[in-house]
Amino acid sequence: MTMIETTYRDALRLALTETMRADENVIIMGEEVGRYGGAYGVTKGLIEEFGEDRVIDTPISEPAIIGSAVGAAMAGLRPVAELMYVDFIGMTMDQLANQAAKIRYMFGGQIGVPMVLRTQGGTGRSAGAQHSQSLEAYVMHTPGLRLAMPSTVEDAYHLLRQALMQPDPVVFIEHKGLYTMKGTLDTDAEPAAWGKARVMREGADLVIVSYSRQIHHALAAADTLASEDGIQAAVIDLRTLNPLDFDTIRPLVEQAGRAMVVSEGVMTSGVAAELAARITEECFDFLEDPVVRVAGEDIPISVSPLLEQNSVPTPELITEAVRMMLK
How far CA 255 is from CA of 51, 145, 251, 276, in Å, comes to 54, 32, 6, 17
Tell me, yes or no, if 131 is annotated catalytic.
yes
Q: What Rg, from alpha-carbon coordinates, does the chain have?
A: 20
d(C-alpha 69, C-alpha 80), whole Å: 8
Is the preceding omega at residue 300 within 30 degrees of 0, hence cis? no
d(C-alpha 143, C-alpha 126), whole Å: 32
d(C-alpha 141, C-alpha 285), whole Å: 27
In 106-248, at which residue ranges do the beta strands (DSSP E only) sit? 116-121, 146-148, 170-175, 182-186, 198-201, 206-210, 233-237, 240-242
Annotated active-site residue in 131, 158, 216, 217: 131
Please identify every residue annotated as catalytic.
Answer: 131
